[in-house]
Amino acid sequence: MGIFQWLNDQLLKMQWLSDLVGVLVRDVFGLDLASRVGGSIHFFIYDVIKIFILLSVLIFSISYVQSFFPPERTKKILGRFDGITANILAALLGTITPFCSCSSIPLFIGFTGSGLPLGVTFSFLISSPLVDLASIILLASIFNWRIAIAYVVVGLILAVVGGTLIGKAHLEDQVESFVFGSPAIELEEAELTRKDRIDYAIDQVKEVVQKVWLYVLLGVGIGAAIHNWIPESVITALLGQDKWYSVLVATFVGIPMYADIFGTLPISEALVAKGVGLGTVLSFMMGVTALSLPSMVMLKQVVKPKLLGLFFGIVAVGIIIIGYLFNFLGPLFM
C-alpha cells in the first residue's frame, strides 16, 4: 500500500512537480507560497503543466487503442447486439473516444444514419463527452481513485439508462430526415501499421490539445482565483453542502459553458477545497460536459424539439440525482 501511494503521489499527483514549482515561486520569484499571489501562481503553473503532461500521455495511449476501432468497425460491433446489451456496449465504446459533446455529434449522425437504434446512439452520445479513460486518471490525480471510479460508473449508468429510455420512447420520427437520408459509410478497414497508429495517436494529441488548451488555461485560472482569492464563506454561502439548491445551481450554471472535463477539473478541485459538496462539484462537471449550450444548438440541427427536450430532461434529471446522491455519500469517497 505504501508503494502504491508513493506511485500515485509521484506519477499522478506529480508531487515532484509541485515541489519544483514551489522552489520556482519561492526562490526565483521571491513570493511566499502562503500568500494569495504566491499561492495563485503556484496553483496555476503546477496545474497547467500537470494537466498537459497527463493529457498528452493519456490521449496518445487512448488514441492508439482507438485506432483499432474506426467508425465503420464500431458500427459493425454495435450492430451485432440489441436491447440493453447494445446500450451498455455503446456507452463503453464512448469511453474510448476522447471527444467533447460537439465532436461526438457527427458520429451520432453517422451511427443513426447507418441504421443503429436511436437509443443505442444516444447512449454513445451521452457517454462520449461525459466519461472517457482519461477522466479516470485525471480525476484520480486531483482527488482519489474512489472518486474517479465512482464518477465513471455513474456516468456509464446515466448513459445506459438515458439511451434506454430514449429508445423506449420510439421517437425516430423526431430525427431530421437528412440524417436517415445520409449514405451509410461502407469503407474497407485499412490495415494500419504500428507507425500509422503512432502517427495517428500523435495527431490526436495535437488536435485535442489545440481544442482544449484555452479551456484548460481558463479553468486553471478560475480555479486559482477560487482557491486563493474568494473567501470560503462566500463559496459555502452559495454552494455549501447544507444548501438544498446547490446541486441545481451547479448543474444549470455549467450548461452555458463550453468546455470538457480537462477544463472543469481545476475549478472542481478548488471548489472541493473550499468546502463544496462532492455531488455539487460532479453535477457541475457533468452539466458542462454533457449539456453544454453549444452542443445543444448543434444537436437541434439533427433532432426535433420533442426529442431534444427528452434528451435534455433525462440527462439533467440524472445529473441532479447523481449530485444529491454523492452529496449524501460524499464522506465515503473523500
C-alpha cell at 169: 420512447
Mean pLDDT score, 280-309:
85
3-state helix, strand, coil in the chain (%, to 5): 80, 0, 20
Q: Which residue has the higher pLDDT, 74 or 21?
A: 21
Q: Given this model, what pLDDT does residue 186 score?
A: 47
Quickly tell me which residue has 471548489 as its cell: 271
Using 50, 70 and 90 to split pLDDT, how confident is the model at 272?
confident
Report if residue 75 sits inside a domain: yes
Which amino acid, 183?
A: P
Using 50, 70 and 90 to split pLDDT, how confident is the model at 190?
low
Report if residue 274 sits inside a domain: yes
Q: Rounded to 5 degrees, what are φ and ψ at 35?
A: -80, 165
The total number of residues shown for the chain amounts to 334
Distance CA 151, CA 281 (A): 11
Cβ contacts of 155 within 8 Å, gap of 6 or more: 127, 130, 131, 286
Bridge partner residues of 240 (DSSP): 276
C-alpha cell at 277: 459538496
Q: Given this model, what pLDDT does residue 100 score?
A: 54
Hey, is 175 helix, strand or coil?
A: strand
Of 43-47, 69-73, 197-201, 261-265, minimum mean pLDDT range: 69-73
Q: Given this model, what pLDDT does residue 187 score?
A: 42
Q: Given this model, what pLDDT does residue 202 score?
A: 92
Of the candidates 63, 66, 64, 81, which has an alpha carbon nearest to the alpha carbon of residue 117? 81
Mean pLDDT score, 91-112:
70
pLDDT of 163 strictly over 80: yes
195-241 pLDDT, tens digit each:
888 998 899 889 878 877 888 888 888 888 888 888 877 787 778 77
Q: Given this model, what pLDDT does residue 22 score?
A: 95
Cβ contacts of 267 within 8 Å, gap of 6 or more: 219, 222, 223, 226, 284
Report if residue 29 sits inside a domain: no
Q: Given this model, what pLDDT does residue 21 score?
A: 95
pLDDT of 157 strictly over 70: yes
Give the number of other CB atoms < 10 A from CB of residue 328: 13
Report if residue 114 sits inside a domain: yes
For residues 209 and 56, the answer to whether their CB atoms sit within 8 Å is: yes
Report if residue 64 sits inside a domain: no
| Average of per-residue pLDDT values in the chain | 83
Angle 118-130/101-113 helices, nearest 10 degrees?
160
pLDDT of 156 strictly over 90: yes
Q: Which residue has the higher pLDDT, 128 or 278?
A: 278
49-86 pLDDT, tens digit each:
988 888 888 788 877 877 776 666 677 777 787 789 99
C-alpha cell at 230: 474568494
Distance CA 59, CA 260 (A): 14
Of the candidates 192, 206, 194, 189, which has an alpha carbon nearest to the alpha carbon of residue 60? 206
Q: Given this model, what pLDDT does residue 184 score?
A: 47
The CA angle 197-198-204, to the nearest 5 degrees, is 90
Q: Which residue has the higher pLDDT, 99 or 330?
A: 330
Distance CA 185, CA 170 (A): 24
Cβ contacts of 208 within 8 Å, gap of 6 or more: 55, 59, 98
Using 50, 70 and 90 to split pLDDT, how confident is the model at 181?
low
Hey, is 303 helix, strand or coil?
A: strand
Q: Can you give the residue range of the structural domain that contains 154?
A: 69-181+213-332
Q: Given this model, what pLDDT does residue 182 score?
A: 54
Mean pLDDT score, 233-261:
79
Using 50, 70 and 90 to split pLDDT, how confident is the model at 158?
very high
Q: Given this model, what pLDDT does residue 204 score?
A: 82
Cα distances (Å, whole numbers) of residue 291 to 90, 122, 260, 297, 314? 19, 13, 11, 10, 11
Report if residue 224 sits inside a domain: yes
Report if residue 253 sits inside a domain: yes
Q: Which residue has the higher pLDDT, 30 or 72?
A: 30
Distance CA 110, CA 183 (A): 9
pLDDT of 322 strictly over 70: yes
For the chain, the domain total comes to 1
Report if residue 226 sits inside a domain: yes
For residues 160 and 88, the answer to whether their CB atoms sit within 8 Å is: yes
- Percentage of residues in the chain having pLDDT higher than 90: 26
